[in-house]
A = this chain, B = another copy of it.
Amino acid sequence: MADITPSRRVRRTPFTPGVEAAGVKGYTVYNHMLLPTRFGQDFVNDYHHLKRNVQVWDVACERQVSVKGPDALRLMTLISPRDLSKMADDQCYYIPVVDRHGGMLNDPVAVKLAPDHYWISIADSDFLQYVLGIADALELDVVVEEPDVSPLAIQGPKSDDLMARVFGDAVRDIRFFRYKRLAFEGHDFIIARSGYSKQGGFEIYVDDFDLGMPLWDALFKAGEDMDVRAGCPNLIERVEGGLLSYGNDMTRENTPMEAGLGKFVNAPGEYIGKAGLGLRPARRMIRALAIEGDIPPCDRLWHVYAGGKRVGQVTSAVRSPDFGTNVAIGMIADSHWDAGSKIEVETQDGMRNAVLQAKFWI
């Protein structure tokens, strides 16, 4: 693949100097920002290290949409298919968000900072613009903005140990999708137990660009004897774990139910997408697939066939060293979504046989 060209439009992060010094090998662009994709020559070394050790990830591209003001909860309730009424003050909620017709616009995590202040930690689409459109049209009393907040993720089985060395043992008590405010050099950071891997870990919401590298350096110094490394969301590990990627595995074409996220659609009151979702029962759904043979990079949608008829698509796929097959994520019609169904996947290098799985691998 070709180089990525530097430009201010493709934004550097607070951690980019550290990422560069660690010898980043590949980038993608996510929310107009650099996101490292690999440090080793391929994804495999990063993958093995992530599953056994601890990594520090520059995920500053998980930008926040800050919604603050007297109408903040009203606005959040309008856009959220998930019931926010029981959300605790230290809680994070995964809230797939939809338009009037139930089409997914993003799959962010909402973070409640105060009763009148929320962050929406977004996947790769400018969901700020939708929130702003609602606020502007209804003239709501809120400020909607992207603050200077850049998440830094600590992921891997040794995450608790590394974090405790920098932030103290209190990090060990943070529950899943909850956060605490903990100090580093006198500055309180919001730290949640969360992250885009199945290996456990934390996300630190770094709310000042200039604090990025001091924190990065402190984590590496504290973890010298633990083989801490710079890492990033790993393609193999995320597909093994069935972690969905907005823009890859689901788009505005899909409802949350199709994306297997129906359990997050439970708001009892009215919200913008409610009627639209009611009109769209899921006749296709996200599924795990094992694909046989050699496959090229999945950089485009692969059509899926059974008996010569189209029954779906594959959108993420990669060779898994630990499971000895090509792990894949696809959207499959109800006629073939049961475990054991045999289908064919049309890659740019030709047709491959595949089998539907009962669940993801990890």
Contacts and interface: CB of A to CB of B under 8 A. Distances in A.
A75 B136 CA distance: 13
Contact of A134 (B1, B127, B133, B298): B133
Contact of A3 (B7, B27, B138, B246): B27
Nearest to A78: B137
Interface string A272-314: 1000000000000000000000000111110000000000000
Interface in A7-65: 7-12, 24-30, 32, 36-38
Contacts of A6: 1, 297-299
A9 to B, nearest CB: 4
Given A126-B125, A137-B138, A4 B7 contact: no
Contacts of A25: 2-3
A299 B28 contact: no
Given A134-B136, A272-B136, A315 B28 contact: no
B272 A5 contact: no
A32 B298 CA distance: 16
Nearest to A302: B8
A13 to B, nearest CB: 11
A357 interface: no
Interface in A317-355: none
A187 interface: no
A297 B1 CA distance: 21
A245 interface: yes
Interface of A: 1-12, 24-30, 32, 36-38, 78, 99-100, 105, 124-139, 146, 245-248, 252, 272, 297-301, 315-316
